Amino acid sequence: MTQAVGIEAMGVAVPSTYLELEALAAARGVPPGKYVEGLGTRRMAVPQPGDDTVTLAARAGRMALGAAGVDPGGVGMLVVGTETAVDHAKPASSYVQGLLGIGRRCRVFETKHACYGGTAALQLALDWVRSGSARGQKALIVCSDVARYGLGSAGEPTQGAGAVALLVSDSPRLVALDAGLSGVWSNDVHDFWRPLYSKDALVDGHYSVRCYLDALAGAYGHYKELAGAPGVPFFSERFAALAYHVPYAKMAKKAHRHLRAVDGDPEPDASFERLVGPSLALPSQVGNLYTGSLYLALASLLATAPRPLDGARIGLFSYGSGSCAEFFSGTVNPGAQARVRALGLEAMLAARTALSIAEYEEVMRAREAHDERPAVEAPPDDYRFLGVREHRRSYVAPAP
């Protein structure tokens, strides 16, 4: 029998401040229903200038290691998947290595393919552990991003920020992921991108939705071929739950409708609440995490599903613009839901502070000038970006 490999523990970090989308709608002269029901997002995480891809990744990584009781020395591979890197050459993961005190005998790098970058790293880590090359070491995969389109843009209500860390090992106490059963789909398209000279992402919004749905059908079709046996009555009924990449919650609804239509379901929305609903409870409070979005949806499913999922099969869909997509699956380990609930993610989101529109716009503008800001001292209450001095980014870790 093949050894089970998968996610041993997770950690989630979100900025401590957010914007109500109703307030954004009012400020932009848009009916609130367009954002809240039309996009399905209630709140959007807004990082303060001291928070960036690195600090969010460090906080999520610390939570994952702490939840598993794993010493940083036990990590043999540390990868940050991100599309909002802080440097063209030095990976965010090297900063995270320093902040978390991860040892020197560790492979450390960064991966990029839009929102798929974290999944690429996860699949690599799974195969590293399965192959035996890990020799008992664990991989820490952190998906971390600050999703930013800019003030007044069509993408503005689909911003967000946050990180999800996944500890990958041969003790998959949360979810064992299936080996050799992964449907992939890739295509050279220009749906969403960020030129090297721009801090804001550019997007062909409605086209990006079509690209996402085409990629879902392609990856799911590949998965079905690999899985063989047809499902009864619909293939996706073999899953107790599904988690999709969530740029905004309504996109997951569109995705599910498309997937069930591909299945031949004449009522493609009827299974949405049962199969997808719990995975959106947390994402609708945070907005887009880019690489981390699918994994926040997974955390949300495990933290908020109203029924036991012990031993249940779940399906996961990752989409990265440009594009690459993957549909893969796994089995929830008994006790996984209690472990994720113990992270207190809902309480963490509830404890955040709401920003006014003026404060939000001020933070967005402050981030513009951020790279030129001289380093300043900050109270070490958490991981913080302090600024840039002599072209070197400077971070501080909280006192142990």
Going by the DSSP 8-state scheme, the letter that residue 374 receives in this structure is P
Among 18, 95, 185, 212, binds ligand CAA (CB under 6 A): 212
Assess 154 for contact with ligand CAA (CB under 6 A). yes
Among 95, 220, 223, 290, binds ligand CAA (CB under 6 A): 290
CA-wise closest residue to 169 among 57, 300, 293, 70:
70
Binding range to ligand CAA, per CB under 6 A, among 41-49, 198-206, 230-238, 336-344: 198-206
Assess 158 for contact with ligand CAA (CB under 6 A). yes
DSSP string for residues in 163-199:
EEEEEEES--SSEEEEEEEEEEEE----SEE--TT-S
Assess 136 for contact with ligand CAA (CB under 6 A). no
Active site residue 143: no
Between 154 and 342, name the residue whose CB sits nearer to ligand CAA: 154
CB 392 within 8 A of CB 375: no
Min dist CB 44 to ligand CAA, Å, is: 11
Which phi and psi (to 5°) does residue 168 adopt?
A: -105, 130
Among 15, 155, 183, 283, binds ligand CAA (CB under 6 A): 155
Among 8, 20, 83, 326, the one annotated catalytic? 83
Active site residue 245: yes
CA-wise closest residue to 14 among 356, 383, 286, 247:
286
CA angle 249/255/256 to nearest 5° reads 95
Assess 264 for contact with ligand CAA (CB under 6 A). no
Residue least distant from ligand CAA (Cβ): 38
CB 346 within 8 A of CB 194: no
Assess 288 for contact with ligand CAA (CB under 6 A). yes
Considering CB under 6 A, how many residues would be counted as binding ligand CAA?
27
DSSP-H helix ranges across 230-384: 249-263, 272-275, 293-304, 336-341, 345-350, 357-368
Site for ligand CAA in 308-327 (CB under 6 A): 319, 321
Q: Mapped to the 3 state alphabet, what secondary structure does 225-260 carry? A: HHHCCCCCCCHHHHCCEEEECCCCHHHHHHHHHHHH
- 305 by DSSP, 3-state: which? coil
Between 154 and 366, name the residue whose CB sits nearer to ligand CAA: 154
Assess 116 for contact with ligand CAA (CB under 6 A). no
Among 106, 115, 211, 324, the one annotated catalytic? 115
Assess 210 for contact with ligand CAA (CB under 6 A). no
Contact residues: ligand CAA, CB under 6 A: 31, 33-34, 37-39, 115, 154-155, 157-158, 192, 203, 205-206, 208-209, 212, 245, 247-248, 250-251, 288, 290, 319, 321
